Amino acid sequence: MPKAYWIAHVTVTDPDPYALYAKGATEAFAAFGAKVLARGGEVVGLEGETRPRNVIIEFPDMATARACYESDAYQAARKHRIGAGEAQIMLLEGAE
């Protein structure tokens, strides 16, 4: 079964509530066995729209990644993100 990747491209507009989101989301990710591969750091935009904050999180599989997103813990954290920035978030199944 291939791994899955949570990919987020974010522009934070209100850092205080976003920090609450980040704390709660990190706890949710840990509860689902996720591994952060990239968070923040230098971004070099080559084509298309680029956001200043980009995140890649590895999950054991797609079902676990979806369960994390749908979990009470993540949804509680997500409430702090809404209105604190603009985000594109997707789950991507890895290659076998």
CB-based contacts of 94: which residues, under 8 Å, 6+ apart?
Answer: 2, 3, 4, 5
pLDDT in tens, 12-49: 999 999 999 999 999 999 999 999 999 988 999 999 99
Q: Angle between the 72-81 and 62-70 helix axes, to the nearest 10 degrees?
A: 60
Q: Which domains does the chain have, with CATH numbers?
A: 4-43+50-93 (3.30.70.100)
pLDDT for 96 beyond 90: no
What is the pTM for the complete model shown? 0.92
pLDDT in tens, 65-77: 999 999 999 999 9
